[in-house]
A and B are shown apart, each in its own frame.
Chain A
Amino acid sequence: MKQRLWFVGSSVVVFALMLLLWQAVIWVFAVQPYMLPTPWLVAKMVVLRMPDLLAALSITAEEAIAGAAASIVVGVVVALVFARAEWIRKLFFPYTILLQTVPVMAVAPLIIMWIGTGFIAVALIVFIFCLPAIIANTTQGLISVDENLVQLFLMNNATPWQMLQKLRFPNSLPNLFVGIRISSGVAVIGAIIGELFAGSTSVGRGGLGYSILYAQTQVQTAYLFALVIAATALGFAFFFAVMFFEWLMLHHWHESATAGQRE
């Protein structure tokens, strides 16, 4: 308890020092507010424009959740197919890596051409960002089952469905969550990048990425900072939501979900 208090205390001090450094740079170099606003101005902006921030945040959150959820569903289905046979993996797995390496920014114009700008386009970009990690990790979990357990199931005349439902799928859950954890990080980044390209169907209204662009053209630097803070908060929220869900699902039996507790 004492240790924790000390930790919280020192964290606050470090944070305050950072803000002070920021303020000092502005004082020393006489930086104009439109280039770099003071921490105070940013804080004021966060409070004043809270409704706008929340509106933008919720749009981005919805896009990220829609894209990530779709990638989990599709990714698990693809992983189930991949887990069926080695030759399927050999033939098709390279495309998963291709999906990961193709720069999404280069594909974004195509997406806009095909389906226009707006929610679906951004969610699709998020989906492409998230999919490879889900496929790769879930496939790994589905195929790396203890050979003895497979034999045990065979000896008990398990049906293929029982093999999947009672053995392979639960075995792959920790891996699936590794995939989801990676995806939750890139989902928010993907949504913001997607919005920079395909953010909004009406001028002035859109998610965080779109609003950042808009604030930039309007030289609302303090608001831009507030948007960046909101984007960071959203990323954190995603990460912790996934961590919590993972803990909920796995903490009974898997080490990965309890590692944080023991420390």
Chain B
Amino acid sequence: MTIPEVLFREVGKSFAASATPVLEGIDLAIERGEFVSIIGPSGCGKSTLLKMVAGLTACTTGEICVNGMTPNNAREMVSFVFQEPTLLPWRTVEKNVSLALDLERRTTREARAATVAKLLELVGLSHVAKHYPRQLSGGMKMRTSIARALATRPRLLLMDEPFAALDEMSRDRMNEELLRLREEQNWTVLFVTHSVAEAVFLASKVIVLAPHPGRVAHVIDVAMPYPRTAATRESDEFDEIVSRTSRLLREAHRL
């Protein structure tokens, strides 16, 4: 039996001893190479769940294993993409992308520059490599942020509503690009979103959370084959899964 990429065992989280826990009894196993979308109403602890996997906050009960290790020890194989691009405004695009590599200082300057150049080409930003973030559009900033996350060659990508601030058209395009990048690099992804259509389009598995306390209400398998393209969104199968997921999400809200 192989070790799951991410394992949640009876995971709970509360910020104050008396209050309703944010998360309770999360039991999940995510296999290597899966693309898992997590949806749920606001306040159901989606972001907290990701932060715990990243080792940014500890769980109150239970445990999380990332590739058999504690989140803190697994940090080096994990990258996080925030809802905002969170770029350093005083660094150019290429310098932002190389941030993690600069902090590690494990490779030579030339090697880092080569890695960055390749990544920028991959996300289509080579032409703005020397630009500063304030000169970029929202979509370009987000692409920079994703390129930065990919620079350390992560096995596991944690994405916290990364496209929420984009308009629908840019969001759809970014979704397609994200899947295309995954074809090449094959990471496992935990993707938090508010949008059912986005969750279904991207994921091999959609997890619906219910609030107060946050817990797993449903796990929906999305059997549509990859590679998925814009045409996937027009298929009946896609529509069917989206409407089923929406219904389950509504029910979860009432739980």
Other A-B contacts than A151-B80, A152-B86, A155-B56, 4 sampled, CB-CB below 8 A, are: A149-B88, A155-B54, A157-B75, A252-B132
Q: Which residues of A contact B51 (CB under 8 A)?
A: 151
Interface pair A255/B86, CB less than 8 Å apart:
no
Q: In residues 128-177 of chain A, which contact B (Cβ within 8 Å)? A: 146, 148-149, 151-158, 162, 166-167, 170, 173
The verdict on B68 contacting chain A, using a C-beta distance below 8 Å, is: no
Q: Which residues of A contact B88 (CB under 8 A)?
A: 149, 166-167, 170
Interface pair B134/A156, CB less than 8 Å apart:
no
Tell me the smallest distance from the CB of A168 to a CB of chain B, in Å: 11
Residue of B nearest to A250 (CB): B90
Knowing A155-B75, A162-B103, A252-B132 are in contact, say whether A170-B55 is a contact too (CB < 8 A): no
Q: Which residues of B contact A166 (CB under 8 A)?
A: 88, 99, 102-103
Interface residues of B (CB under 8 A from A): 51, 54-56, 75-76, 78-80, 82, 84, 86, 88-91, 99-100, 102-104, 132-134, 152
Q: Which residues of B contact A158 (CB under 8 A)?
A: 103
Tell me the smallest distance from the CB of B148 to a CB of chain A, in Å: 9
Tell me the smallest distance from the CB of A231 to a CB of chain B, in Å: 36
Q: Which residues of B contact A173 (CB under 8 A)?
A: 90
Interface residues of A (CB under 8 A from B): 146, 148-149, 151-158, 162, 166-167, 170, 173, 252-255
Q: Which residues of A contact B56 (CB under 8 A)?
A: 151, 154-155
Q: Which residues of A contact B86 (CB under 8 A)?
A: 146, 148-149, 152
- Tell me, in angstroms, the Cα distance from A148 to B81 when the chains sit together: 10
Knowing A252-B90, A253-B89 are in contact, say whether A155-B80 is a contact too (CB < 8 A): yes
Interface pair B90/A156, CB less than 8 Å apart:
no
- Tell me, in angstroms, the Cα distance from A151 to B132 when the chains sit together: 22
**16 A-B residue contacts at CB 8 Å?**
A146-B84, A148-B84, A151-B51, A152-B99, A155-B56, A157-B104, A158-B103, A162-B103, A166-B99, A166-B102, A167-B88, A173-B90, A252-B90, A253-B89, A253-B90, A253-B134
Interface pair B103/A157, CB less than 8 Å apart:
yes
Tell me the smallest distance from the CB of A163 to a CB of chain B, in Å: 9
- Tell me, in angstroms, the Cα distance from A252 to B86 when the chains sit together: 17
Interface pair A253/B132, CB less than 8 Å apart:
yes
- Tell me, in angstroms, the Cα distance from A202 to B43 when the chains sit together: 73
Residue of B nearest to A170 (CB): B90
Interface pair A253/B104, CB less than 8 Å apart:
no
Interface pair B133/A156, CB less than 8 Å apart:
no
- Tell me, in angstroms, the Cα distance from A94 to B51 when the chains sit together: 37
Interface pair B103/A255, CB less than 8 Å apart:
no
- Tell me, in angstroms, the Cα distance from A151 to B52 when the chains sit together: 12
Interface pair B103/A153, CB less than 8 Å apart:
yes
Interface pair B100/A255, CB less than 8 Å apart:
no
